[in-house]
Amino acid sequence: MLKITGQQRTGSDSFILILEGRFAGPWVKTLTAYRREMSENQQPCTMIDLTGVTFIDAEGKVLLAQLSQ
């Protein structure tokens, strides 16, 4: 299971995504949809916090690489 929390940075218009749990399988698609929704709402994500992530599969690593570019 993956928990995704969006957090607005205080005094800024930047946004942080906080991920907790396993970043694998269907949860990769969940994050993709979440980011797409953020993009459509013109909410810039400036950071993804992976501190609480316990596992990332190959598909998750690919998505993180794409998001970092």
Contacts of 50 (CB under 8 A, 6+ apart): 19, 23, 56, 64
- CATH architecture label of 2-68: 2-Layer Sandwich (3.30)
As a whole number of angstroms, the distance between CA 20 and CA 12 comes to: 24
Q: How far is C-alpha 46 from the chain's CA centre?
A: 10
Read off the pLDDT band of 56 (50, 70, 90): very high
Can you read off the two tokens belonging to residue 1?
A: 């299971």
Taking the chain, what is the end-to-end CA distance rounded to the nearest angstrom?
Answer: 26
- Give residue 23's pLDDT: 94
Domain ranges of the chain: 2-68
Read off the pLDDT band of 42 (50, 70, 90): confident
